[in-house]
Amino acid sequence: MILELKNVSFTYSRGTTYSVKALDNINLSIDEGQFIGVIGHTGSGKSTLIQHLNGLMQPTEGQVFYEGQDIWGSTDPAEQGKKKVSKKNRYDLRSLRTHVGLVFQYPENQLFETDVISDVSFGPKNQGLDETEIRRRAEEALRQTGVAEKFWKVSPFELSGGQKRRVAIAGVLAMNPKVLILDEPTAGLDPQGRDDILDQIKKLHDERGITILLVSHSMEDVANYADRIIVVNDGKIADDGTPKEVFSHYRELEKMGLAAPQTTYIVNELAERGMDVDTTATTITEAKESILKALLEKGQLRKGETFV
């Protein structure tokens, strides 16, 4: 278990007429190496939730643990359980943020340097690494996010939206985080750019073993990439499980203003009409295989024959 939330609640503008309870008693544990999709409709509290994971926001109630250590508690066991933590025993939040990298929604708005590679170097520089290591990390991150070398020396403001997005993701990746959290990394990108970025993220997960949290509005995306899905609704965790488990509750999801991937609807519709398909298929490949199998068993399709 790398990250854990215990009874976390958060209220915006507490004590005023505008107070909003954005998180309500959240319990959550995240294991190393998971690829987690976080879904929920607009305003459900996803962004608020993920900002608690790297100590950017302090919960109004509850505790956040990183590798078993309470990040708002004292590092000195003698002081544990006290409300007030003395300055020298405070948890090092800056180093936590290099372990838990957070890419915000529309991260291209944070670019500021004169050229791409210096911008990506900002994170490692803040970690206090030496020149060569900073350079190595920045180049590696840019390669991993697929930014071509000819762009490394240009101003980030001259890039296209999708390229800026990659540079911004590289800026977080260059810190070598163990956990990478991405808040809607594909918002506003074309289908090609979206698939590229998601494939790169998947590769990072598979090759570097980084734990990934992907906030997304697209059910197809999370079904294709995630091995666990967390559904946030009204500041609470409404569902948590494998994509198959979560999307099998698609009627509940609809009540929350969400939906299952299109394939779930197709296989369910087919099953209702008497076809023997696997209704838990969530990706297009799974659905295709299940439909072909059903057709084959029914004798409507000869062996070796396919549609596509």
Partner 1 sequence: MFKDVTIGQYYPADSILHKLDPRVKFLGTVIFIVSVFLVRGFAGYAFVTAVLVTLIALSKVPFRFMLKGLRAILIILCITMIFNMFLTPGEVIFQKWIFKITREGVIQAVRMGVRLAYLVIGSSIMTLTTTPNQLTDAMESLFSPLKVVHAPVHEIAMMMSIALRFIPILMEETDKIMKAQIARGADFESGGIVKRIMNMIPLLVPLFVSAFRRANDLAMAMEARCYHGGEGRTQMKPLKYSGRDIVAYILIIGFLAGCIFFRITRL
Binding site residues, partner 1, CB under 8 A: 17-18, 51, 54, 56, 94, 97-98, 101-102, 104, 107, 109-112, 122-123, 126-127, 157, 171-172, 175
Of all residues in this chain, which one has the CB nearest to ligand ATP in the complex? 47
Instruction: Give the Å distances, CA to CA, from 266 to 80, 98, 175, 279.
Output: 54, 43, 42, 9
Query: Hey, which residues between 9 and 28 contact ligand ATP (CB under 6 A)?
Result: 12-13, 20, 22
Cβ closest to partner 1, residue 103 vs residue 294: 103
Tokens encoding 164: 């800026």
28-66 residues labelled b (16+ CB within 10 A) or e (exposed): bebeeebbbbbbbeeebbbbbbbbbbbbebebeebebbb
CA-wise closest residue to 8 among 237, 233, 222, 180:
237
Span interacting with Mg ion, options 44-52, 78-86, 156-164, 235-243, rule CB under 5 A: 44-52
Least distance CB 17 / partner 1 (angstroms): 7
Q: What is the rounded distance in angstroms from the CA atom of residue 134 to the CA atom of residue 174?
A: 8
| Count of other CB atoms within 10 angstroms of residue 177 | 21
Does residue 188 touch ligand ATP according to CB under 6 A?
A: no
In the chain the first and final C-alpha atoms are separated, in Å, by: 43
Give how far Cα 191 sits from Cα of 144, 194, 218, 297, Å.
Answer: 19, 5, 12, 36
Question: Cβ of residue 126: shortest distance to partner 1, in angstroms?
Answer: 3
Which partner in ligand ATP, Mg ion, partner 1, none is near 56 (CB below 5 to 8 A by kind)?
partner 1
Q: Are 221 and 261 in contact (CB under 8 A)?
A: no
Quick one: 40 or 55, whose CB is closer to partner 1?
55
264: contact with Mg ion by CB under 5 A: no
CB 223 within 8 A of CB 282: yes
Give the shortest CB-45-to-ligand ATP separation in angstroms.
4
Q: Which of 7, 14, 31, 43 binds ligand ATP (CB under 6 A)?
A: 43
Q: How far is the CB of 242 from partner 1 (least distance, A)?
A: 29
Query: Of 94 and 153, which has the nearer Cβ to partner 1?
Result: 94
What span, in angstroms and rounded, lies between the C-alpha atoms of 94 and 102?
A: 13
Residues that bind Mg ion (CB under 5 A): 47
Residues that bind ligand ATP (CB under 6 A): 12-13, 20, 22, 40, 42-48
